[in-house]
Amino acid sequence: MKYSILSAALALGIAPAMLVAQQPANQPGVSQPYETNKAVADDRTVDRNEIDRADEVTPTGLIRASQMMNAAVYNNAEEQVGTISDVVLDQRTGQARYVALSTGGFLGLGDALHAIPFKSVKTQVHDGDEVFVLNIDAERLENAKGFDQDNWPNMGDRNWQQTNDRQYGDYDRQYGDSDRVAPQQ
């Protein structure tokens, strides 16, 4: 009798473990062994690397902000006019509104930042590399009002936007004033 009670208790204790072992691993609430999880993560890493390579080769119309950070910007005369130090997003639309273009200075000291309307910066392929181009001459950019890293303007202020965007010839496209003439380059 003692052995039959012990056998019954042992059978009841093992039965749930056997049921769990027979459940498919992909059911919710069932943890998978580390090796399986690691294999899935490795597959995702491979896929992410393939996507990164595809981004470099295939033009998608989309660009990661990280690809823009510290990238050189050239004008149409192929002169480097600055580097992109930041990207400003519109909180309402989620769209990129400005790039902060760093000009002058040395190693970030003494440089000026310019809020360039995002739509004014284009990408072009040059010698097999994608480069950023701003249609502005170096002198005009030098004379444009900028700001420093510690004193950003209120980019949400409509008057500031209009004044700023007018400096870069983007006023007409942004605000629909078709009777206005964009500044000459």
Region of 107 (left: φ > 0; alpha: ψ -120 to 50; beta: rest) is left
Task: Return the bridge partners of 118, or none.
Answer: none
- Evaluated on CA atoms 50, 56, 61, 63, the torsion sign reads positive
* CB neighbours of residue 118 within 10 Å: 17
pTM of the complete model beyond 0.75: no
Among 156, 76, 78, 79, residue whose Cα is nearest residue 115: 156
CB 98 within 8 A of CB 159: no
Per-residue pLDDT of the chain (185 residues; tens, 9 = 90+): 555 554 555 555 555 555 555 555 555 555 555 455 555 455 555 455 555 554 454 456 788 888 899 999 999 888 899 999 999 999 999 999 999 999 986 665 668 999 999 999 998 887 777 789 998 888 888 888 899 989 999 999 999 999 999 888 754 444 444 333 333 43
CB 69 within 8 A of CB 63: no
Q: How many residues does the chain have?
A: 185
Q: Which domains does the chain have, with CATH numbers?
A: 65-173 (2.30.30.240)
CA Rg, the chain, in Å? Answer: 29
